[in-house]
Structure 1
Amino acid sequence: MRVFRHYTELPAAVRACVVALGNFDGVHPGHQTVIGTAKALAHELALPAGVMTFEPHPRSVFKPGGAPFRLTPFRIKTRVIEDLGPDFLIMQHFDLAFAAHSAEAFVQEVLVAGLGVRHVVVGYDYEFGKGRSGGVELLSAMAARHGFGLTAVPAVTAGDGHVYSSTAIRQALTTGNPREAARLLGRPWEIEGRVEHGDARGRQIGFPTANVEMADYLHPSAGVYAVLAGVDQGGRTEWRPGVANFGRRPTFDKADPLLEVHLFDFDGDLYGRHLRVALMEYLRPERKFAGLDALKSQISEDCAQARRCLAAARDHFESES
């Protein structure tokens, strides 16, 4: 899959395409259906299949300094979309200048002149243009005017009838229900980041941790989780069971939220490497302990509980190439 950062830099080989449009934060089954529909149409029409999304997420441009909310920042979104098999991905740079495009200008300048689209695929609730002034009805009218096809994919629902949505996934994560988030995503929710040096307190008490900053990831409910940690092995990912704490570490009077991951039966050096952390089960809320002995005792219990939770789950994670 080829990745581009601006619609004006596309080579002729990927223009005259079928493209799926959307923010696709989470790349949940509803998003996957939109992208899969575009891919199927492209195959039928013998055209390139593309995905166009926006980076940074428009919400962070319009509300800078707001609470972190993203389910899939750039790196992980790119990987998940690549797994769906499109020919190319446009991670269109989004800023206030780009946001100033009217709905009509977006169609004329970006879709028609920039991409040379033959067919566009969107979700049923797609909105675009300055002030989100355009919707499926306007896009349909402009598609007819400019001579390209349009498919609006209806809402995709889970087995219980609920519509797959990024909002529902965020709600599950912020209320300590990663299992429900995984059901709605179609996979466990992951945090990915570079392992950074900390104050080594975990190592001092017998539970060394890999510290991962959350950047602009959504902050899940503070507490302890059973996790699977994906260690980069130079082209493949090796998944290892572990336990993680997300929060402000009240026992040590820390203020900044941090994800601390303890990998079971692992003594390698992870500093500076990328680590993928899949939240599998919420074990307990974060709390302050009276001293290190009480903390160590609780961590031992957390590890035992996490091992039990992960015994079955790990069978579903194989090394990825």
Structure 2
Amino acid sequence: MQIWTDLDQVADGPRAVVTIGNFDGMHMGHKRVVGACVERASRQGLRSVACTFDPHPRKVHDPDSGMELINPLRDRLDAMAATGLDATLVIHYDQSVYTLSAEEFVRRYLVQALHAAEVVVGEDFRFGRDSSGDVNTLRELGRQLDFDVVMVTDIEAPEGRRWSSSWVRDLLADGDVTGAARVLGHLHRIRGTVEHGHKRGRTLGFPTANLATGIEGVIPADGVYAGWLVRRVPGTEANEFLPAAISVGTNPQFGGTVRTVEAHVLGRSDLDLYGEQVAVTFVARIRGMEKFDSVDALLARMDDDLRKTAAVLGVGVSSRVDPDSVTAGTGGASARC
């Protein structure tokens, strides 16, 4: 999939079937709309193009809302590419965009830049200054400017709720990463750079990769999760998925105050990930965050967490590692892998 971040980058080509949206999280409802765009373009021999916005319009118009993007832009684009789109235009959302009238927006982006033959949108699509345009506005402009409009109706989950980004955020706030994955159609993940922590985990036999600042994506509720730590294999373009028990919270056992994400890769003491950008993918919640009567009680529960994590991920059971074998930050020969 080609990615354009400026109108000057848009490649000449045939007319296009275009879809437009924020696509935060690229959940099942988004995939239905984008999939319709791809299918209709393929059937007509046209190219399929999506338009999305960065930053998210709500973060521009209501910066104090505290809204977090479900995933960073790179993950959104990865999910969009997986649908088979030919290209995505990332529109930098600022005053030059949100002050455009509905007609000005359509002429500049859909007609002049992308040569739209069809535009595919969802039922709740709004556009133009003060969100003045809707599907009916788009249809009227299509009649004037020679493109058709296809509206994809909303789909609902079996329980009757509409697939939506807000639903995903609600599920993550409850720690229901399994439910969030069902709405998304893929596992939820966050990204960040591995930082130095208090290094308590390594002394207990549970060395962790710590993410604390600059985390991209919505962090689920405090608790322990089964999932994967995903990192780029040094010197390659390949990714490796490492089975991990993931702790989210402030570490109440030791009086912590900073909320962190700590991923312990099962059975590994030789990883030195400091400074690396990694992704943490959540598969299932093992338990909520607890404070135990003693460190021994904590260790017993963490041993159980490792067994449950291995069972969820379908990998071999691993026990605590020997603290003396941990090489992270030591400069040892096996420190990078």
1:16 CA drift (Å): 2.9
1:136 CA drift (Å): 0.8
SS at match of 2:180: helix
Structure 2 unmatched ranges of 5 or more: 316-337
Corresponding residue for residue 306 of structure 2:
303
Corresponding residue for residue 318 of structure 1:
none
* Higher-Rg member (1/2): 2
Corresponding residue for residue 246 of structure 2:
244
Deviates more, 1:199-208 or 1:70-79: 199-208
Corresponding residue for residue 144 of structure 1:
143
2: CA distance between counterparts of 1:212 and 1:118? Answer: 45
2: CA distance between counterparts of 1:68 and 1:224? Answer: 24
Corresponding residue for residue 178 of structure 1:
177
Aligned amino acid, residue 278 of structure 1: T
2: CA distance between counterparts of 1:244 and 1:135? Answer: 43
2:166 maps to 1:156:
no
Aligned amino acid, residue 69 of structure 1: E
2: CA distance between counterparts of 1:283 and 1:198? Answer: 23
Corresponding residue for residue 333 of structure 2:
none
Corresponding residue for residue 284 of structure 1:
287
TM-score normalised by structure 1 residue count: 0.89
Aligned amino acid, residue 299 of structure 2: K
2: CA distance between counterparts of 1:68 and 1:285? Answer: 24
2:104 maps to 1:101:
no
1:310 CA drift (Å): 2.4
Corresponding residue for residue 317 of structure 1:
none
| Equivalent residue pairs, number | 311
1:129 CA drift (Å): 1.6
1: CA distance between counterparts of 2:87 and 2:170? Answer: 31
The answer on whether the counterparts of 1:68 and 1:216 sit within 8 Å (CA) in structure 2 is: no
2: CA distance between counterparts of 1:124 and 1:180? Answer: 24
Aligned amino acid, residue 172 of structure 2: L
1:243 CA drift (Å): 0.8
SS at match of 2:261: strand
CA 96–220 in structure 1, closer or farther in 2 if over 3 Å, else same:
farther
TM-score normalised by structure 2 residue count: 0.85
1:160 CA drift (Å): 4.2
Deviates more, 1:303-312 or 1:141-150: 303-312
The answer on whether the counterparts of 1:226 and 1:282 sit within 8 Å (CA) in structure 2 is: yes
1:272 CA drift (Å): 2.9
SS at match of 2:300: helix
Counterparts of 1:1-321 in structure 2 under 5 Å? 1-13=1-13, 16-213=15-212, 215-233=215-233, 234-266=236-268, 267-289=270-292, 292-311=295-314
1:96 CA drift (Å): 3.2
The answer on whether the counterparts of 2:3 and 2:88 sit within 8 Å (CA) in structure 1 is: yes
1: CA distance between counterparts of 2:309 and 2:129? Answer: 47
2: CA distance between counterparts of 1:249 and 1:3? Answer: 41
Deviations 1:150-197 (Å, cap 9, x if unpaired)?
111111233444322111111111112111111111122111233233
SS at match of 2:314: helix
The answer on whether the counterparts of 2:178 and 2:284 sit within 8 Å (CA) in structure 1 is: yes
1:201 CA drift (Å): 2.2
2: CA distance between counterparts of 1:296 and 1:241? Answer: 19
Deviates more, 1:144-153 or 1:56-65: 56-65
2: CA distance between counterparts of 1:194 and 1:51? Answer: 30
CA 104–254 in structure 1, closer or farther in 2 if over 3 Å, else same:
farther
Aligned amino acid, residue 251 of structure 2: R
1: CA distance between counterparts of 2:272 and 2:99? Answer: 47
CA 310–54 in structure 1, closer or farther in 2 if over 3 Å, else same:
same
Q: CA RMSD in A?
A: 2.1
Deviates more, 1:291-300 or 1:78-87: 291-300
The answer on whether the counterparts of 1:30 and 1:156 sit within 8 Å (CA) in structure 2 is: yes
Deviates more, 1:213-222 or 1:237-246: 213-222
Deviations 1:17-56 (Å, cap 9, x if unpaired)?
2111111111112111111111122122222211111111
1: CA distance between counterparts of 2:303 and 2:76? Answer: 34
2: CA distance between counterparts of 1:216 and 1:237? Answer: 18
CA 97–136 in structure 1, closer or farther in 2 if over 3 Å, else same:
same
1: CA distance between counterparts of 2:242 and 2:159? Answer: 32
Aligned amino acid, residue 232 of structure 2: D
Corresponding residue for residue 323 of structure 2:
none
2: CA distance between counterparts of 1:196 and 1:146? Answer: 53
